[in-house]
Structure 1
Amino acid sequence: MYESPEEIQALQRLLDASHRGGTAHLRTIISGDHVLDAAQLVDALSGMKVLALSTVTAKGEPRTSAVDGHFLHGRWTFGTDGRAAKARHIAARPAVSAAHVEGERLGVFCHGTAVRLTPDDPSWPETIDHWSRHYGSDPTTWGDDVRMYRIEPSFMVGYRGAGAGD
């Protein structure tokens, strides 16, 4: 867990605002004991999680692909090759959606803006160190144009199925 108490509080405010601003349909599904709070969400997202990441083409068509997601400081991080379609989409239209779903046990849904991380970003050293420890090598060495991103969320909700926290 990388989140400070202040980051947990900020994540909780985002989760609460997202839930309040969600549709009535969403609130009937993600309600009561099914709502994850910030601490539960951070705990559930430890380690690598496969994300379904959605971007948008120049024609406005959605595209979804899978990426390795790592939740650091209340934000998803992910990487891809600069030649990937998603890298081109993000460069032109950085709005993304990401979902991590584990059957009916867990669901985390996020909308936001993908921000490309560079060595100038204050979070770069810790992000690369985390990824390097997880995979056993520096992800920036995996190709000629590896790009790392962080999603700055504008919406996020977390769902847990019955018995998931027991």
Structure 2
Amino acid sequence: MRSINRLYFFILMFLLLELAFTPTHALSINIPQNDRDNFSQEFLGKWKMQSVVTSSRCPYVIVGSTTESELEITPEINSNKNILLNAIWHGGNWTDCTGNIKFLNKKEAITERVTELKSDDENIWKAILIDHLKLDEDKNKMQSESIVIQYKNGQAVGEYKTYSILTKY
């Protein structure tokens, strides 16, 4: 009986060590390079943005919370004569932030940005956002799904996801 228990123990230890030292692969978003062939005029302009938190693993952000902000998308020609789209977000007490739009195709694009807020109690909040923008068939509407990583005083405190509806004005 003792030899069977020892055998089980060694098998269990082997399996635990195998699991502990097996490399894992992290999934990531592959953000494409700016591609002027996929440039779409419909993205240009000023957009009103209404967002709702759809899931949260951040103690400071509640599912169902809503915000309103504005997004302005403007063209810029770089030194290689390529047309890039710049995005500028304005919203609430957060600092304005900018980012480049990287196209997936003529109706979808991705942006990355960082914004900051200094609260009355001297806390410094930062948010890293990755947005997936999708033009609707009605060219005056767009949807966005975003991943937000929230920081407080330099420490990551959680992440959450939002869904937004954007209307051109």
Q: Judge same fold: TM > 0.5, yes or no.
A: no
> How does the TM-score come out when normalised to structure 2?
0.31
Larger radius of gyration: 2
Identify, as 1 or 2, the structure richer in helix. Answer: 1
